[in-house]
Chains A and B, each alone.
Chain A
Amino acid sequence: MLCDLCKTKEATVFLTHLVEGNTQNLNLCEPCSQVHDMHDSMGFALADLLLGLGASHQIEKAALACPHCGFSQRDFKKQGRLGCSVCYDIFAEGLALMLRNMHRGVTHTGKVPRKIAAIYQRTAELEALKKSLAQAISKEAYEEAARYRDLIHRMEHTPAQQKENSSQALEEELLPPKNALPGAKNSHQ
Chain B
Amino acid sequence: MTAESLSNKKNEWLFHSGPHAQIVVSSRVRLARNLEKRPFPGWAKKAERLQLMKEVQVALEALPQMKEAFSEQMENLTLLEKQVLVERHLISREHAEKSAGSALVISMNQTLSVMINEEDHLRIQAILPGFQLKETFALITQVDTQLEENLSFAFHRKLGYLTACPSNVGTGMRVSAMLHLPGLVLLEHMNKIINSVNKMGLVVRGLYGEGSDAIGNLFQISNQITLGEKEEDIIERLHVVIEQILAHETNARGVLRHQQTETLQDQIGRAYGILLHAHSVSTKEALNLLSLLKLGVDLGLFSLEVHALVDELFMEVQPAHLQKSSQLLKMTSKQRDALRARRLRETLEKIPPPGLNNNS
Contacts and interface: CB of A to CB of B under 8 A. Distances in A.
Contact of B155 (A82, A102, A112): A112
A164 interface: yes
Given A103-B170, A105-B229, 14 more contacts: A68-B37, A81-B42, A82-B164, A83-B43, A85-B34, A85-B156, A88-B156, A103-B225, A103-B226, A104-B201, A104-B225, A111-B144, A166-B37, A167-B152
A102 B227 contact: yes
Interface residues of B, number: 40
A71 B170 CA distance: 21
B154 interface: yes
Nearest to A105: B228
B227 A104 contact: yes
Interface in A58-110: 68-69, 71, 75, 79-86, 88-89, 95, 98-99, 102-110
B99 interface: no
B18 interface: no
Contacts of A80: 165
A113 interface: yes
Given A69-B43, A86-B37, A116-B155, A110 B229 contact: yes
B228 A103 contact: yes
A116 B151 CA distance: 12
B162 A88 contact: yes
A114 interface: yes
B226 to A, nearest CB: 7
Nearest to B34: A85
Contacts of B229: 104-105, 109-110
Interface of B: 34, 36-40, 42-43, 119, 141, 144-145, 148-149, 152-156, 158-162, 164-167, 169-171, 173, 201, 225-231
A139 interface: no
Given A95-B166, A115-B148, A85 B228 contact: no
Contact of A85 (B37, B148, B166): B37
A172 to B, nearest CB: 14
B145 A114 contact: yes
How extensive is the interface on chain A, given as a class?
35 or more
A82 B166 contact: yes
20 contacts: A68-B37, A71-B43, A81-B42, A81-B119, A82-B164, A84-B39, A84-B40, A86-B37, A95-B166, A103-B227, A104-B225, A104-B228, A106-B158, A107-B158, A108-B169, A110-B171, A110-B173, A110-B230, A111-B231, A164-B152
A78 to B, nearest CB: 11
Contacts of B230: 109-110
Contacts of A86: 37
Contacts of A107: 158-159, 227-228
Contacts of A105: 227-229
A116 B155 CA distance: 8
Contacts of B173: 110
Contacts of A68: 37
Instruction: State the 6 A-B residue pairs at the shortest beta-carbon distance, nearest first.
Output: A108-B160, A105-B228, A85-B154, A103-B227, A104-B228, A83-B43
Contacts of A99: 159, 166, 169, 227
A5 B40 CA distance: 20
Contacts of A71: 39, 43
Nearest to B173: A110
A95 B169 CA distance: 11
A111 B171 contact: yes
Contacts of A69: 39, 43
Contacts of A115: 148, 152
A114 B141 CA distance: 12
A166 B152 contact: yes
B241 to A, nearest CB: 16
Contacts of B119: 81
Contacts of A103: 169-170, 225-228
Contacts of B155: 112-113, 116
A92 B350 CA distance: 63
B113 to A, nearest CB: 20
The residue among B34, B155, B226 with the most chain A CB atoms within 10 A of its own CB is: B155
A102 B166 contact: yes
Contacts of A113: 148, 153, 155
Contacts of A83: 39-40, 43
